[in-house]
Structure 1
């Protein structure tokens, strides 16, 4: 799908201020509300805009610990990836699941209220996931940059 400078302006504004009413988005992008609406609908239909979602500050809800867990799976089992991922989806504290090529097969981003809660999640829900050959944990200390924005 081809996008032009107007589409890029609209996308930049959507990224900068998600959830803007269409009229305000149009004003910020320098187009009429009707033009903005048509373009946003075309970008959605073309798969450029996949959806809009709330960004939640988990710390404000009492989740103080964030851990990135990296797994190497036992790939001797033909369904290791599928079964691991299906089971990981059922862990409510898993916010993100990514798969990789290389030494790490899967990464889970896990949140917890505190270290005791994390230990409970890790022992009861994470270590019981199927086909784990090896795991490594990285605890988040701070986020320096977290932006979905690219130069449009």
Structure 2
């Protein structure tokens, strides 16, 4: 899909202030509300805008521990990836699953309320996942930059 300068301007303003109501977004982007609606519908239909979601500050809800787990799987079983991912999806505290090419096969992002909760999740749910050959845990200390935006 080809996007033009108006589409880019709409997306740029929306990314900068996602809470703007549509009238204010149209005003900032220099288009009428009707034009804004048409363009947003077209961008959604083309898959440029995948979703509009709430961003929750999990720390504000008491989740103080975030861990990224990197797994190398035992690939002697041809279903290792599928079985591991299916089991990982069942762990409620797993908020992200990503697969890679290279030494690391899968990364899980896990949230826990505190270290006691994390220890229970790790022992009872993570270490029981199938086909683990190696696991490395990286505990998040701080997030320096978090952005889904690129220059438009």
Deviation of the 1:19 alpha carbon: 3.9
Deviation of the 1:12 alpha carbon: 1.1
| Structure-2 residue corresponding to 1:92 | 92
CA contact under 8 A between 1:67 and 1:109: conserved in structure 2? yes
CA contact under 8 A between 1:65 and 1:115: conserved in structure 2? yes
| Structure-2 residue corresponding to 1:137 | 137
Correspondences of 1:1-152 after superposition (within 5 Å): 1-152=1-152
Number of aligned residues: 152
What secondary structure is seen at the aligned counterpart in 2 of 1:36? helix
Separation (CA, whole Å) in 1 of partners of 2:17 and 2:137? 33
Separation (CA, whole Å) in 1 of partners of 2:81 and 2:14? 35
What secondary structure is seen at the aligned counterpart in 2 of 1:78? coil
Deviation string, structure 1 residues 21-78 (Cα, Å, up to 9, x no partner)? 2211111111100000000000000010001111110000000000000000011111
| Structure 1: gaps spanning 5 or more residues | none
* RMSD between superposed Cα atoms in Å: 0.8
Deviation string, structure 1 residues 89-108 (Cα, Å, up to 9, x no partner)? 11111111000000000000
TM-score normalised to the size of structure 2?
0.98
Runs of 4+ in 1 over 6 A off after TM superposition: none
What secondary structure is seen at the aligned counterpart in 2 of 1:48? coil
| Structure 2: gaps spanning 5 or more residues | none
Separation (CA, whole Å) in 2 of partners of 1:17 and 1:87? 37
CA contact under 8 A between 1:70 and 1:105: conserved in structure 2? yes
Separation (CA, whole Å) in 1 of partners of 2:92 and 2:15? 27
